[in-house]
Structures are given as structure tokens and as C-alpha cells.
Amino acid sequence: MGKHITFTFLSLLFIIACKTPQRDCASFKTGEFSYEELIEGALVTTRFTRNDTLEVAYFNNKVDSSSVRWINDCEWIVKKINPKSMSEEKAVHMKILYTEGEFYTFEYSLVGKTKKQRGTAKKLN
């Protein structure tokens, strides 16, 4: 009896641990979002809106516009429309890794680079 309960518990634990994360990318393709990031010890918030072709970000009382080119529902390329420096001219590859409720976790990197970073954004509407 004890072995049966242990086996059932371990089987259930294995099933929960192997659960595939939700990835409802289409729900996060367009809308208004916010993203918090720790920069030089301070928590800062970027708010942005995105549609099929344009992303407008609001950060530190500045507005930035970027073109959006979708690869699929979960991946897209963002490129600043009016870059102010050479580094801003580089496109960024974005990829939603998983979604949960009103949040999505993503990874991003400069196009052609292997170093990736992660973040979580919240859908506001």
C-alpha cells in the first residue's frame, strides 16, 4: 500500500514537473504593455504599444518608434525608425518563451548575436 502511494505521488510530481509552459503568443502580438528593468540599481518602467508593424515605447519622458517585422506569432524583429547612434541602428530579435495570464516572458538579442537576455512584460489592455 505504501509503495503504491509513493509511486502515485512520484508519478504526479513527474507529470507536473514536465508540464509544457503555456505559449499563447497571438494574445500578446498587439496591445499596450509595460516592462520593468533594473538599471544602475534603479527599477525603471518602459511602457509600449505594439501593432502589426509599429512599436512605440515611452521611457524616461522620451518616445521611441520602431518598425516591427513578424517572423511568426511568437517572434519578431524590432528596428528603430530614427536611430540616434550606430548602436541604435541594430535590429533586435524578440521571442516569446511562454505566457501566463497577463504576462509573457521573452528573450531578446541583437540580430546575428548569440548573447541573449530575458525579461517579462505585462499586457495592460
pLDDT of 63 reads: 93
95, 106 Cβ separation under 8 angstroms? yes
| Whole-model pTM over 0.75 | yes
Mean pLDDT in each 10-residue stretch from start to end of the chain (125 residues)?
51 52 90 91 93 94 94 96 89 96 95 92 94
Q: What is the pLDDT of residue 20?
A: 61
Total count of domains within the chain: 1
pLDDT of residue 96: 97
Q: Is residue 46 part of a domain?
A: yes
Q: What pLDDT score does 86 carry?
A: 87
CATH number for the domain harbouring residue 117 = 2.40.128.490
Q: What's the CA gap between 1 and 84, in Å, rounded?
A: 70
Residue 106, domain member (yes or no): yes
**Per the domain annotation, does 28 fall within a domain?**
yes
Contact 37, 119 (CB under 8 A): yes
Residue 15 lies in a domain: no
Instruction: Write phi, then psi, for 52 (nearest 5 degrees).
Output: -65, -25
CA distances from 15 to 20, 29, 96 (A): 10, 30, 24
Q: Residue 60: give the domain boundaries.
A: 21-123
Buried b (16+ CB within 10 A) or exposed e, 101-124: eeebbbeeeeeeeeeeeeeebebe
What pLDDT is stored for residue 13 in this prediction?
45
